Amino acid sequence: MSSTVVRRLAVGAVAVVATMALAACSSGSNPAPSGSSSASGSASNSPSSPAKTSAVIAEPANAPAYYIFPLTPMDNYNGLNDAYFQDLIYRPVYWIGDHGAVKVNDQISLAEPPTYTDGGKTAVVKLRDYQWSDGTAITSRDVLFFWNLLKAAKDNWAGYVPGEFPDNVTSVATPDAKTITFTFDKVYNPEWILYNELSQLSPMPQHAWDITATGQQAGNEDQTPAGAKKVYDYLLSQAKDSGTYATNPLWKVVSGPWTVQSFANGNEVTFAANPKYSGPIKPTLETVTLKPFTSDTAEFNVLAAGGDVDYGYVPPQQGAQKDRVESQGFTTTEATTWSINYMVPNFNNPDVGPIFQQLPVRQALAHLIDQDGWIKGPLGGYGKPTFGPVPTFPDNPFVSAAGKTNAFPYDPQAAIDLLTQSGWDVQPDGVSTCKSPGTGAGQCGAGIAAGTPLKFKVEYASGLGALDKAMQAEKSAFSQAGIELELVAEPLETVNANEAKCTPTQKECGWQLVQGDLAWTFQPNYYPEGSLMFGKDGCCNAGSYESPQANALIAATHTSTSPDAMVAYQDYLQKQLPVLWTPKAESIVAARSNLSGTQPTDPFSNLYPEEWRWT
């Protein structure tokens, strides 16, 4: 998040694999089921030796996992990096995502469920008996170390929203090696505290990382704000050198079931099993490799040829060819992530920002997005609509009744009527212009001069075949109301860098519309409220949407335990259109039929290769 949005196979935001991004929640045991759908491949076409000790995972196109430091800066955050990389080596205090369910995975969380004292103001976190890979116990001091660095560098943390974690914590205490308490400035909704605040905690090895220079003996530098900032800056500098991820002693001290064995050019990562992993499920594979691809077509071709991938995905536009993949010994499974997708308008763009600030124009644009056609056409039926700020799919208790229907169904005539009634001279298949400037009824709105055209540049991620086809279809649909779209396909990192929160006078405010690279998955803040994306100070409010009423409704979801607060928030934002809602692709996960334990339906695209077994 930063000025850069975190919506990267999430803001991030995340992700399912392929054309989606990642990113949310009670306890229960974790069996290790394998995904299933239709497995028609013959055994002769898939690895059959019980001695096989490795697996290769295909990364989504142009979205490699590449950053190792758990306190990830906003410019480096993406949800897939969490799910495919960091979480394999550094376990969070509370793991969100339980084998397809949007809930806390109690079995592999490092702590017991939180309890509350002081009338609900103090959260008590009790750590379980886990160890670092060097044999040192994971203690409350390691959580405090993370906390001290977070406070010192909060403005650079991907999950930070001003006024929230850590700002709303008045005191932290570690009464013993297994207990850490957080006292808040008031009583909050405990569900929100768990999923959006305590969920951010990731213990870091204080005994190895509390240094400010290479070769230094670890001390207690983090216990002063100045010292914590120096430690943070040092670790940040080390994390920038990805070429040393496999050799730097810092990154050898891990809490997860895996450790980095190699990090090759092109972001190909190989993990080795951590023999000292103290969690409940030990790896049987010796290595797991993340294989990057520049396009989803390239990845599909490898699967369809039975190439060197054991766990990958079928792009939506290739969904009709699942049988080709299955004939190579794969099982395919459809999945949807805990995510929403949308096109972001830049309300602060000096040229077109004033246009986006007009609600009737945004409503007209929304009526021109053919979600059903997008899903049936470019996505080949493998997609789900986004109707508002809370996911409609997968099934969840948070979405309202109104949130399950489209407030702005595809209707070009409704779009034309809205524009005409708002002072625009609509020219279907041409370029509509402002006919009646001014701020009164029937006029175009503040800052819009006579003759201003409805022409917008739309940037979107390249290498995703379905997204490219969808954007071409949207260009045609928008033209029906005289709205001209200039489509610009760019590498994912370029799109994310350009989608920056800005002020009209800044040179980086030149972007106009960005179609989500993947989808926003609620991660690392899992509770489906919009402080990150739609709040005034949210790091990922890239379009600079601002509404006092929206801010108040978002804040109410943090304190109220009544479902009415979530309903009021989403029903308001659904119709206010801080962004333009668009469909999200579903993941079609392909896993070797004789590789059990794969988790293709995890709502955050979390991987559990320690549970994988060759049969």
CA distance 609 to 274: 12
Q: What would the 3-class secondary structure string for 132-197 be?
A: CCCCCECCHHHHHHHHHHHHHCHHHECCCCCCCCCCCEEEEEEEECCEEEEEECCCCCHHHHHHHH
C-beta separation of 489 from 468 below 8 A: yes
- Provide the pLDDT for residue 100: 78
- Provide the pLDDT for residue 600: 55
Q: Is the pLDDT of residue 41 over 80?
A: no
Q: Is the pLDDT of residue 75 over 90?
A: no
Higher pLDDT, 26 or 167: 167
Q: Is the pLDDT of residue 238 over 60?
A: yes
pLDDT digits (tens, 9 = 90+) for 555-580: 999 999 999 999 999 999 999 999 99
Instruction: Find, among 430, 485, 478, the residue nearest to 460 by Cα.
Output: 485
Residue 587's beta-bridge partner residues? 335
The DSSP secondary structure of 492-560, one letter per residue, reads: HHHHHHHSB---TTSGGGG--EEE-SS-EE--SS-SS--TTTTSTT-TT-TT----HHHHHHHHHHHH-
Q: Is the pLDDT of residue 426 over 60?
A: yes
Task: Say how many CA atoms lie within 13 Å of 386 toward its Cβ.
Answer: 30
pLDDT digits (tens, 9 = 90+) for 309-364: 999 999 988 999 999 999 999 999 988 889 999 999 999 999 999 999 999 999 99
Can you read off the two tokens belonging to residue 87? 């979480």
Q: Is the pLDDT of residue 504 over 90?
A: yes
pLDDT-wise least confident of 23-37, 80-94, 185-199: 23-37
- Provide the pLDDT for residue 602: 83
Can you read off the two tokens belonging to residue 258? 């895996």
Using 50, 70 and 90 to split pLDDT, how confident is the model at 206? very high
The overall longest dimension of the chain from CA atoms, in Å, is 75
Higher pLDDT, 21 or 538: 538
CA distance 395 to 397: 7
- Provide the pLDDT for residue 98: 85
- Report, as an integer, the average pLDDT of 486-509: 91
